Amino acid sequence: MSTLTIRLPDETANRLKALAKSRGLSTNKLIEQMSAHALAAWDTENHFRALAATGNVQRALDVLDRLDAEIGSGNH
């Protein structure tokens, strides 16, 4: 596990603390969850770009179909 120090405007930090509290989380856990979501989106985008670069349109559409199905089922 790594420790990361970030600088945020006071208002942003206060809003993040309030959001974490409203969800019953520590601020650290909230940032951890938000980071995981951002990285998953980035990984998906990179995967899609790699498929698109191969010119295989059907494989790219299959990825989007699976993503739609996952989001629709609430498993995101």
Ranges of each domain in the chain: 10-73
pLDDT above 70 for 64: yes
**How far is Cα of residue 12 from the mean position of the Cα atoms in its chain?**
19
pLDDT above 80 for 12: yes
Cα Rg of the chain (Å, integer): 17
Pick from 11, 9, 5: nearest CA to 28: 5
The rounded distance, in Å, linking the Cα atoms of 13 and 16 is: 5
pLDDT above 80 for 60: no
Reported as a pLDDT band with limits 50, 70 and 90, residue 74 is low
**How far is Cα of residue 49 from the mean position of the Cα atoms in its chain?**
17
The rounded distance, in Å, linking the Cα atoms of 34 and 12 is: 14
Reported as a pLDDT band with limits 50, 70 and 90, residue 59 is confident
pLDDT above 70 for 3: yes
Average pLDDT over residues 17-24: 98
